[in-house]
A and B are shown apart, each in its own frame.
Chain A
Amino acid sequence: MRRIVYREWRIESSRYWSWLAILAVVIAIGGMAALYMEHHGHWVTGMTNSVVWGTPHIFAVFLIISASGALNVASIGTVFDKAFYKPLGRLSGLLAAALLVGGLLILVLDLGRPDRLVVAMTTYNFSSIFAWNIFLYSGFVAVVIAYLWTMADRKGVPYTKPVGIFAFLWRLALTTGTGSIFGFLVGREAYDTAVLAPMFVVMSFAYGLAIYILVLMYSFEQDDRPVGALMLKRLKNLLGLFVSGVLYFTLIYHLTRLYGAQTQNIEHFILVSGGIYTVMFWLGWIILGSLVPLFFIYHPQHGKNPKAIALASALVIFGGLAAMYVLIIGSQAYPLEMFPGKTVVEFGAPGDIGGVVAPYWPSLPEFLLGIGGVAVALLITSVGIRVLQFLPESLADRVVDPHVALAEGRGR
């Protein structure tokens, strides 16, 4: 196998800077949206006492689980010794750190009192998953930076494997912790299940890889670097496997809850009668987010077409956001069931009406804050690949696969 050469991202200055400028504007708008929400209070958002976590949390949770998923590509190379994936490791680490920072930023800026972040950093309640996640998230960034160093510096090479294994375990813990934010909520029918933690892990594989594929294809295309058909085939097959995994866990998640009478009402709401949430589940999460990408990925012709693979990745990302929408918003919109066997006729005046789904519509500032977080992740990635050697010069077949190189050598 040839030695992999890494090079900085060398697109024209004008294109690079205008790309950065666009991102900076999006980030600035996101920041202004956060300031606006902070100044006026959360009443300007769609969030209420019924739907307490809104659009920012969709983006934040999506980015955070994608972050750990993006690191997976590096893990496959170092932990599972697949030489094929080794050239992809550096970008994988960078993307993971960038996505996590973007997601965390959204989460923090949505707090009621973001000025008290230092309180969250100094006072801990260790029975809270959130408190653990503060360590898991900040530790993740540190571990990934160490991991990147072992991959980039010759002195670090002996440590690549142990650090890689540690990073892999850490990322599993991180996604489990993120899933448990919801999974440990005993009071809510939609969440009170352990299957959420492994489901989030598999989701992170799929969404992180989808983002990785898109970033890889875009950055390579812009810089006229080749991505070989073999590499694309590997990546898209992996994506297909992960998306199927998400479908499997989705099935288990809903079957568990359909079986017991206690949770059948909310299942009926999500799957049949929930309006936007039902549409988002079937059309967003299942059809556009899973089945259509699988069709493209495994179709004999489309599966070889880079454009179709890019489209499939984009759809997986869309499906991921739809899944977060159903999981986070849909589950809160459905009223808490406190009186089994009884129908709530009135539930507080003032306040909401019992038995009625809580209204929620994403407001513009919430959405802009979420997009701003995505832009932060992209900005970190863009600057990173520009100034440091993250991207391999080529991912053409003969570079990544020793057999192809050998065959070419024989043919010559």
Chain B
Amino acid sequence: MSEHKQQPDLKQSPEQPARRDFVAKAAAGVATAVIAPGVILHTAAVAAPRTTPVTDIKRWGMLIDTAKCADGCTACVEACEHENGLDLQDEPEGVKPLKWDNQRATWIRKVKIRDNMSGRMTNLPLMCQHCEHPPCVNVCPTGASFKRADGIVMVDRHTCIGCRYCMMACPYKARSFIHEQVVKKLTRAPRGQGCVESCNLCVHRLDNGEENTACAEACQQSGHGAIIFGDLNAPHGPLREALREVDSRQIREDLELNTGVRYAGI
């Protein structure tokens, strides 16, 4: 089947600015929905939906400043659950609550860690890290787990057979298997029994021209502003500016997965 060849597995290394700039200019001439760089779109009332295939000109990513992430705040989790219909999951009748906690789909979770030596507490949201070299994509037998050209790691539910090998491979416990029959579904977030899913950086918003995820937006609205979402490839975009400001690192840096989600202060 050639369906899955549609995803160009292009390197998104930052060492080729000249070529990238050229490509970007060329694409800007073609694309109809391109707006001036740096303009934040979430203020626009109706953004234009995408009409051309995604490219590797952009690579979506995040910077999470753990210093700003508040203890006890779950705004990002709630926003994600609402945006992606996760709060519509019904607890099956007769399931033990403790087991169900482990069985329901969770895309983003609040994590609190304590330094073993100093006792310093750190809060952070943890979701799919959208690796450049995702282990879940490597192990998927059917290619249903894939990386989109713009760096989003997601699951093609149409070809997922529910083997759960990607969940074994993920170092971040980011993926969830749908253990139950799903009755309530949103158009923007399809969901069905027997497939695996995880954070897709609110891909429906991006495809509709919005450039912010539900979690980042909620974090900004709650006044913490710990999550900055943006284009990792735009050298002067807000994300790259923020990444220059603070010292950040990847979780499980030792695996060299080049994650799209970076953390400051861990």
Contacts and interface: CB of A to CB of B under 8 A. Distances in A.
B102 A116 contact: no
Contacts of B206: none
Contacts of A228: none
A14 B112 CA distance: 66
Interface in B140-182: 140-143, 159-165, 167-173, 175-181
Contact of B141 (A47, A113, A125): A125
B252 interface: yes
Interface size class of A (residues with CB under 8 A): 35 or more
A49 B116 contact: no
Contact of A116 (B122, B135, B159): B159
Nearest to B121: A345
A338 B254 CA distance: 10
A261 interface: no
Interface string B1-20: 10110000000000000000
B252 A359 contact: no
A49 B106 contact: yes
Given A112-B160, A117-B161, A359-B98, A346 B112 contact: yes
Contacts of B160: 112-113, 116
Contacts, number: 195
Contact of A119 (B126, B142, B175): B142
A250 B48 CA distance: 59
B21 interface: no
B86 to A, nearest CB: 9
Interface string B238-266: 00000000000001100100000000001
A187 B252 contact: yes
Interface residues of B, number: 65
Contact of A53 (B4, B100, B142, B168): B168
Interface string B104-120: 11100111111111000
B79 interface: no
A186 B138 CA distance: 11
B194 A338 contact: no
B25 interface: no
A1 interface: no
A336 interface: yes
B139 A338 contact: no
Given A53-B164, A122-B1, A124-B141, A112 B113 contact: no
B181 A41 contact: yes
Nearest to A46: B99
Contacts of B114: 342-343, 345
Given A113-B194, A123-B4, A351-B109, 16 more contacts: A49-B102, A49-B173, A49-B176, A49-B177, A112-B160, A112-B164, A112-B177, A113-B162, A116-B161, A116-B162, A128-B141, A186-B169, A336-B171, A336-B172, A341-B117, A359-B99
11 contacts: A41-B193, A41-B194, A43-B95, A49-B102, A49-B103, A53-B164, A116-B160, A120-B142, A128-B138, A345-B112, A348-B126
